[in-house]
Homo-oligomer: A and B are copies of this chain.
């Protein structure tokens, strides 16, 4: 298969269930909303070594926010509901509540809700009011008043949607990955939790040499090892591979994000192949076949 002259491998991405929450952060301007969203979703690339996965879903215009100010939607993901609750309290409480000019609202309609009780900080000076038809708390602080909802919808979403970009040179793969991530920013309900959305290091389970390691570099996907290992997956002329990993509120959101990302990536000169990562269908609940995702 091909898309804009780039080979599309006939394979699939394999993904997993994860608990997802989503918050709308507003601020006096888009710049501040973004600063806050970045701090609140930082140190959140992978649940393997970070307290949670987290990322910026999308920019919100004034028309899309409860208080009519510029905003950013963020998503926080954790395998367990309790862990997610703790992360919501930590990230919203420490990185948004303390930040200049911000307000926070629930960004996910769901039957189940997690409490984030910030109003006690008001020590009795807080009060309830309505903003954009929502019941919120107004908490007096140094900067003025902080506005927040206290219940956040939680849903079962999808973690680990992905695709791989094989390119002739590192800068081609990088620009393609950047463009893919930029395109995914427009897809509602999907984040790319890794740093700037791009993963540079692929892993295999376990280790051949260091028995104490649970995961080590996947030598078959290392361009510099192409001629040194057996069964290299690196085609001739490929000098870099990047992966884009996607978490979404639903299968549909992940699918849309994969499609938008791949379509943006293949526009960049120097691409060789798009592929996807799976465990042969043995581990994950969800499968996203590139053929279907792209309608090829």
Residues of A within 8 A of B (CB): 28-30, 32, 35-36, 38-46, 48-51, 54, 61-62, 68-70, 89-91, 93-102, 120-125, 139-146, 164, 168-175, 177-179, 182-183, 186, 194-196, 198-203, 207-210, 212-213, 215-219, 221-225, 228-229, 239-243, 263-264, 267-270
In the assembled complex, how far is the CB of residue A276 from the closest CB belonging to chain B, in whole angstroms? 14
B142–A201 contact, CB under 8 A? yes
Given contacts A28-B174, A123-B216, A169-B168, contact A186 B61 (CB under 8 A): yes
Bound Cα distance A97, B217 (Å): 12
Question: Which residues of B lie under 8 Å from residue A141 when comparing CB positions?
Answer: 200-202, 217, 222
Bound Cα distance A277, B121 (Å): 19
Q: How many chain copies?
A: 4
B43–A90 contact, CB under 8 A? yes
Q: CB < 8 Å: which of B32, B142, B168, B215 contacts A241?
A: B142
Question: Which residues of B lie under 8 Å from residue A217 when comparing CB positions?
Answer: 121-123, 125, 139-141
Q: CB < 8 Å: which of B43, B95, B207, B229 contacts A195?
A: B95
A174–B38 contact, CB under 8 A? no
In the assembled complex, how far is the CB of residue A212 from the closest CB belonging to chain B, in whole angstroms? 8
Bound Cα distance A177, B89 (Å): 26
Q: CB < 8 Å: which of B120, B169, B208, B240 contacts A216?
A: B120
